[in-house]
Chains A and B, each alone.
Chain A
Amino acid sequence: MLTRRQALAATALAALFVTPGARAQDRLNVIASFSILGDFVKNVGGDRVEVATLVGPNGNAHVYAPSPGDAKKVADAKLVFVNGLGFEGWLERLVKASGTKAPIVVATKGIKPLERAGEHDHDHDHGRADPHAWQSVANAKIYVANIRDALIAADPAGKDAYSANAAAYLAKLDALERDVREVIAKIPADRRRVITSHSAFGYFQDAYGVNFTAPQGVSTEAEASAKDVAAIIAQIRKQKVAAVFLENVTDPRLVEQVARETGAKVGGTLYSDALTDDKGDATTYVDLMRHNLRQLASALVS
Chain B
Amino acid sequence: MLNDIFIAPFTEFEFMRRALAGALALALGAGPIGVFLMLRRMSLVGDAMAHAILPGAAVGFLLSGLNLFAMTAGGLIAGFVVAVLTGLVARTTELKEDAALATFYLLSLAVGVTIISLKGTNIDLLHVLFGNVLALDDQTLLLIAANATITLIVLAVIYRPLVIECVDPGFMRTVSSAGGPAHLAFLVLVVVNLVSGFHALGTLLAVGIMMLPAAIGRFWARDTTLMILIATASGVVAGYAGLLVSFHFGVASGPAIILIAGALYLSSLLFGRVGGLVRQAFPGRHLEA
Contact = CB atoms under 8 A, between A and B. Distances in A.
Q: Bound pair: A and B?
A: yes
Interface of A: 2, 6, 9, 13, 16, 56-60, 62-65, 67, 120, 122, 220-230, 233, 248-254, 256-258, 260-261
Given A224-B252, A225-B253, A59 B132 contact: no
Interface string B80-118: 000000000100000000000001000100110010011
A56 B247 contact: no
Contacts of B70: none
Interface in B105-157: 107, 110-111, 114, 117-118, 120-128, 130, 132, 134-137
Interface stretch (B13-21, B40-48, B273-281): B13-21
Contacts of A65: 117, 122
Contacts of B110: 13
Nearest to A68: B117
Given A13-B114, A120-B250, A6 B122 contact: no
Nearest to A3: B103
Interface string B3-27: 0000001001111101100000000
A256 B137 contact: yes
Nearest to B100: A2
Contacts of A260: 14, 137
B282 interface: no
Contacts of B12: 230
B138 to A, nearest CB: 9
A227 B135 contact: no
A225 B246 contact: yes
Contacts of A63: 122, 124-126
A60 B13 contact: no
Contacts, number: 116
Contacts of B14: 260-261
Nearest to B103: A2
Chain B interface helix/strand/loop/mixed: helix
Nearest to B127: A251
B126 A253 contact: no
B124 A60 contact: yes
B248 interface: yes
Interface of B: 9, 12-16, 18-19, 66, 89, 103, 107, 110-111, 114, 117-118, 120-128, 130, 132, 134-137, 243, 246-256
A198 to B, nearest CB: 9
Contacts of A226: 9, 15-16, 19, 134, 243, 246-247, 250, 253
Contacts of B255: 223
10 closest Cβ contacts across the A-B interface?
A: A227-B250, A223-B252, A253-B135, A251-B127, A226-B246, A226-B247, A254-B135, A225-B250, A257-B135, A261-B14
A73 to B, nearest CB: 13
A290 to B, nearest CB: 22
Given A58-B123, A261-B14, A254 B132 contact: yes
A255 to B, nearest CB: 8
Contacts of A62: 124
Given A225-B251, A227-B247, A260-B14, A60 B123 contact: yes
A60 B122 contact: yes
Given A58-B121, A63-B126, 13 more contacts: A2-B89, A59-B122, A60-B123, A60-B124, A65-B117, A223-B127, A226-B134, A229-B134, A249-B123, A251-B127, A253-B66, A254-B134, A256-B137
Nearest to A13: B114
Contacts of A248: 123
Given A59-B121, A252-B66, A253-B135, A261 B254 contact: no
A59 B19 contact: no
A56 B132 contact: no
A220 B124 contact: yes
B205 to A, nearest CB: 11
A171 B243 CA distance: 52
A33 B128 CA distance: 24
B123 A223 contact: no
A252 B66 CA distance: 9
Contacts of B243: 226
A235 to B, nearest CB: 13
Contacts of B19: 226
Nearest to A253: B135
Given A67-B117, A226-B19, A261-B15, A251 B250 contact: no
| Most chain A CB atoms below 10 A, which of B89, B243, B252 | B252
Nearest to B250: A227
A85 to B, nearest CB: 20
A224 B132 contact: yes
Which of B19, B118, B121, B243 has the most chain A CB within a 10 Å cutoff?
B121
